[in-house]
Chains A and B, each alone.
Chain A
Amino acid sequence: MYKKQALKEKDLHKLSGFPKNKMGKILGYDNDHLKMPNKIIEMGLLPETVFRILYQAPFSGPMYVEFGDEKSRIALREEEGDYIIVQEWD
């Protein structure tokens, strides 16, 4: 996990690399090996959901994401964000 981090470049198409304070939309998941925690989906981060990353804790800590019509708030790590494929929304 940590090894990967050094090499990882910010990927704009993943939630983990998406810029802060910009509206984005979830397209789907990068979950071929079923490693993604189901909780991500259970909490409502579903395809077509509109979101915005509001904050991130220091040293690449967890991200604070606001999403959906109900403006739910969720905290997840960059590793979890890697599973979620996103694009800009306008």
Chain B
Amino acid sequence: MQENKKKKVLLVGNPNVGKSTVFNTLCNKKQKTGNYAGVTVASYSGHYSYKDEEVEVVDLPGSYSIYPSSEDEAIFSKFLIDEQQNYAGVVYILEALSLKRGLLLFQQIQDLGIPLILVVNQIDQAQRRGIDIDIQQFSNALNIKIIQTNAKEQIGIDQIREAVFNNDFKKTEKTSFEIPNEHKDFIAKIVAHKGLDSDYEAWMSISSGVELSKIESVHDILNSPDAKSLVPKRLQVQETVRRYQNVDKILANVITKKPQFKELLTEKLDKVLVHKFWGYVIFMLILLIIFQSVFFLAEYPMNWIESFFSWLSAFTGEHLPEGPVNSLVSNGIIPGLGGIMVFAPQIGILLYFLYLLEDSGYMARVIFLMDRFLRPFGLNGKSIVPLVSGTACAIPAVISTRNIENVKERLLTILVTPFMTCSARLPVYSIIIGLVISDKSFLGIKYKALVLMGMYLLGFLVALFSAAILKRFIKDKGKTYLVMDLPTYKKPLFGYDFKMVLGKVWDFITGAGKIIFIVSIIIWFLSYFGPAQKTNQMVATDVKLDHSYLAKMGKAIEPAIAPLGYDWKMGVGIITSFVAREVFVGTMSTLYSLSDDAPEVKVIDKMRHDVKPNGEKVFNFATGISILLFYAFAMQCVSTLAVVYRETKSLKWTGFQVVMMTGLAYFVSMFIYQILK
């Protein structure tokens, strides 16, 4: 029997070749985001066991070439090369409909001496188009084990497992790319000097900027007189063209075609979906459907969650023994947690739609449609994906900028994406709009709905215009371009995407939950205790809210926030919100549950009737609008900042983002409040 040691294999291929379908059907065990060597690979690792062997599968981001042109691809190349000792081999996925393009990267990996198994996916699709692939011939030509799959129908998956089990990974003996004559001597010198395994490894290291652990010091070689005439980019072009010539030769014997082409679904759909007029109408409709579902479909589960938490709060209030613990649990922790759980359904629905759009191939069309309109703002068509995802959460949105090749466009996108109305703002907006906007309707549409829509629009516009301003201050590095594959439309993986969404929502609940849990406890403590009122006390316990430490802190910052129209409670809300925006709602619930003059009254009603010392309502129209704008603009999310820092690797830009956003928030809110009051 095999030893129960884990075998690691990598799943590699071009983007959009059905890699995630293969991954999903292959790994029937737990899947998780992988963290490797300090970088979070934007990919997943999953597991399966076959004949008593445990196998870990790492799904690397798709790439077209070993030479990276974006952050995504750089992560890919580095992992593939640096981690070579740690994996058994690469399972390379080719799509039967685009063998030619896929073989470029395949041959590069093969020439690096990495052991491979080749999987040709979606053979059925090729056959439907009248393409016959001679697999035997193909396998001989590449000298490799080939497995045919139709991952969607689960066909061929067990053959992959069997091949991995048998270690059918094969290294090549002769490289498919021959070093051009004029460079042979120089390459030989490097190989000898650095003790490399292959000529190609040396070639690759000088024609790319990727630093390999083995050849870290290529720079001194590049500075030698022999190397002066070498232009890395020219070498890459030379290699790519030669490889494609080679691929053409191979494929000429492998592909036998029948004359007639059947019109594919993709061709039919694109007549409408990228249409000059209808394309945009459909995109708007899709956005509308998504947001409709986010608000109306989510209402039901949100109500259940809400009632559950208020029941739980009442239940613990009744059944726990009277005293501080009772107050902490039923007035602090439970309302705090409830405030955040309640909008998990909205995040889930939004993310699910985004995954489906991405998966189906439609996102690429959106990029195609939007590129021209985003360019004047210094953004790329690809920025539309982070911007739209930003309406769910800025964290995955910032990570999704990795496929933007141009450094400046990527930085700009990262800087402005947090302006998009993320779901964490939603509970704040809902509660404030509920408080200060009237219940009346205009042409059958509620004012409340209009204001909420307006907030979404505002976020988008501010993101665009701040990009237009910022682009003047960011240095241009490299050329901007858009060269993007338009994949065939595929039926999205409804089940797989659903699983992913559940995972993300769970991450959100536990992540935010932890913070809110701690914050609620701190708030409760600060509100339960206060400065001593009698001389023989250290601190006063069970004080009235107005006399607590919390009130003291809130009141201390009151002068700074008074021009914006906020009282000390909102001040506390804003302070705690710098951890995450949604904490505002938890804080408010906690604060207003604590002022227990009438415990049976709903928090929202307490807020509605709360008055300032001068008799003015705390939540009136002017303060309401002011606070809406503050939350629209201010950078109040520690997790996003952490991700921005990780992605930009720049304290300067991360700091700039905080100051820019929060400064804007402060001045806009103050301006509006002073006008409206």
Q: Digitize A25-54: 1 where CB-to-B-CB distance is under 8 Å, 0 elsewhere.
A: 000000100110111111110110000001
In the bound complex, CA of A72 to CA of B467 (Å): 33
A35 to B275, CA, bound (A): 31
| Residue B163 interfacial (CB < 8 Å) | no
Among B97, B233, B486, point to the contact of A38 (Cβ < 8 A): B233
The residue from B101, B236, B372, B381 contacting A58, defined by CB atoms under 8 A apart: B372
CA distance A38 to B234 in the complex (A): 9
Interface 1/0s, chain B 218-254, versus A by CB < 8 A? 0000000000000101101100110010000000000
Chain A positions within 8 Å of B373 at CB level = 59, 61
Cβ–Cβ < 8 Å partners of B608 in chain A: none
Closest chain B residue, CB of each to CB of A58? B276
Task: Report yes or no: B479 in contact with A37, Cβ–Cβ below 8 A.
Answer: yes
Contact call A57/B100, Cβ cutoff below 8 A: no
Residues of B within 8 A of A68 (CB): 100
Q: Which chain B positions have C-beta within 8 A of A58?
A: 276, 372
A42-B64 in contact (CB<8A): yes
A40-B483 contact given A55-B270, A70-B97, CB 8 Å threshold: yes
Report A-chain residues with C-beta under 8 Å of the C-beta of B372: 57-62
Q: Which one, B301-309, B361-369, B492-500, is touching chain A? A: B361-369
The contact of B486 among A42, A60, A61, A64, by CB within 8 Å, is A64
How many whole Å from A77's CB to the nearest CB in chain B? Answer: 5
A76 located at the interface, meaning its Cβ lies under 8 Å from any Cβ of chain B in the complex: yes
Binary CB contact string for chain B from 356 to 396 against chain A (1 if under 8 A, 0 otherwise)? 00000000100111011100000001000000000000000
Q: How far is the CA of A47 from the CA of B241 in the complex (A)?
A: 9
Whether B241 pairs with A57 at a CB distance below 8 angstroms is no
The residue of chain A having its C-beta at the shortest distance from the C-beta of B381 within the complex is A62
Bound CA span A62–B339, Å: 45
**Nearest CB of chain A from residue B356's CB, rounded to whole Å:** 21
- Distance between B103 CB and nearest chain A CB, rounded to angstroms: 10
Q: Which residues of A contact B234 (CB under 8 A)?
A: 34
CB of A41 within 8 A of CB of B486, answer no
Closest approach, in angstroms, between the C-beta of A49 and any C-beta of chain B? 9
Q: Mark B453-486, 1 if CB is under 8 A from A, else 0.
A: 0000000000000000000000000010111111
B187-209 with Cβ < 8 A to chain A = none
Q: How far is the CA of A60 from the CA of B98 in the complex (A)?
A: 28
With the chains together, A28 CA to B482 CA distance in Å?
19
Contact A76–B241 (Cβ < 8 Å): no
- 8 A Cβ contacts from A56-88 to B: 57-62, 64, 68-77, 79-80
Q: Assess whether A70 is in contact with B69, with CB atoms less than 8 Å apart.
A: no
Most buried by A among B241, B275, B381, B483: B483
Cβ A80 vs Cβ B483 within 8 A: yes
Is A39 a contact of B479 with CB atoms below 8 Å?
no
User: What's the least CB distance linking B369 to chain A, in Å?
Assistant: 6
Question: How far in angstroms is the closest Cβ of chain B from A79?
Answer: 7
Minimum CB–CB distance from B205 to chain A (whole Å) comes to 17
Residue B65 at the A interface, CB < 8 A? yes
Task: Tell whether, in the assembled complex, residue A43 and residue B64 are in contact, meaning their CB atoms are under 8 Å apart.
Answer: yes
Q: Quick one: CB contact mask for A1-37 with B, threshold 8 Å, 1 for yes? A: 0000000000000000000000000000001001101
Interface residues on chain B, number (Cβ under 8 Å): 43
List A contacts of B275 (CB < 8 A): 55
Tell me which of B100, B405, B482 contacts A70 (CB under 8 A). B100
Tell me if B97 and A75 are in contact (CB < 8 A).
no
Which residue from chain B places its CB closest to the CB of A71 in the assembled complex? B261
Q: How far is the CA of A76 from the CA of B405 in the complex (A)?
A: 14
With known contacts A70-B97, A73-B486, A74-B483, A42–B231 Cβ distance under 8 A: no
Asked if B270 contacts A37 (CB within 8 A), the reply is no
Is the Cβ of A46 less than 8 Å from the Cβ of B482?
A: no
Which residues of B from 240 to 274 have beta carbons under 8 Å from A? 240-241, 244, 255, 257, 261, 266, 270, 274
- In the bound complex, CA of A62 to CA of B241 (Å): 25
Considering the complex, which residues of chain B in the window 397-452 have a beta carbon less than 8 Å from any beta carbon of chain A? 405
Instruction: Verify B481–A57 contact, CB threshold 8 A.
Output: no
A32 CA to B233 CA, complexed, in Å:
12
A83 to chain B, nearest CB (A): 10
CB of B99 within 8 A of chain A?
Answer: yes
Which residue on A lies nearest to B486, using beta carbons? A73
Given A38-B236, A39-B64, A70-B100, are A76 and B270 also a contact pair (CB < 8 Å)?
Answer: no
Q: Is the CB of B364 within 8 A of A75?
A: yes
Contact status of A41 and B240, CB under 8 A, knowing A73-B486, A80-B483: yes
B67 contacts partner chain A, Cβ-Cβ < 8 Å:
yes
Inter-chain contacts of B255 with A (CB < 8 A): 69
- Assess whether B483 is in contact with A37, with CB atoms less than 8 Å apart: yes
Q: Which of A54, A61, A72 contacts B270 (CB 8 A)?
A: A54
Chain B 305-328 against A: per-residue CB contact (8 Å), 1 yes, 0 no?
A: 000000000000000000000000
* A72 touching B485, Cβ below 8 Å: yes
How far in angstroms is the closest Cβ of chain A from B195?
A: 29
Q: Which residues of A contact B67 (CB under 8 A)?
A: 38, 42
Verify A74–B481 contact, CB threshold 8 A.
no
Residues of chain A contacted by B484 (CB below 8 angstroms): 74-76
Report if B627 contacts A (CB, 8 A). no
User: Which of A42, A72, A76 meets B240, CB within 8 Å?
Assistant: A42
Q: Are B483 and A39 in contact (CB under 8 A)?
A: yes
Tell me if B483 and A44 are in contact (CB < 8 A). no
Scan residues 477-522 of chain B and give those whose CB is less than 8 A from a CB of chain A. Answer: 479, 481-487
| Chain A residue nearest to B69 in the complex (CB) | A39
Contacts A42-B240, A80-B481 known; 12 new A-B pairs at CB < 8 A:
A34-B231, A41-B241, A42-B67, A43-B64, A46-B244, A61-B369, A62-B372, A64-B368, A74-B485, A74-B486, A75-B484, A76-B483
A-B contact pairs, 27 of them (CB 8 A): A37-B405, A38-B236, A39-B483, A41-B237, A41-B244, A43-B101, A55-B274, A55-B275, A57-B368, A57-B369, A57-B372, A60-B372, A62-B372, A62-B381, A64-B274, A64-B368, A72-B100, A72-B485, A73-B270, A73-B485, A73-B486, A74-B485, A75-B482, A75-B483, A75-B485, A75-B486, A76-B481
Q: Residues of B at under 8 Å CB distance from A? A: 64-65, 67, 69, 97-101, 104, 231, 233-234, 236-237, 240-241, 244, 255, 257, 261, 266, 270, 274-276, 364, 367-369, 371-373, 381, 405, 479, 481-487
Interchain residue pairs A-B with the least CB separation, the first 3 = A61-B372, A73-B486, A39-B483
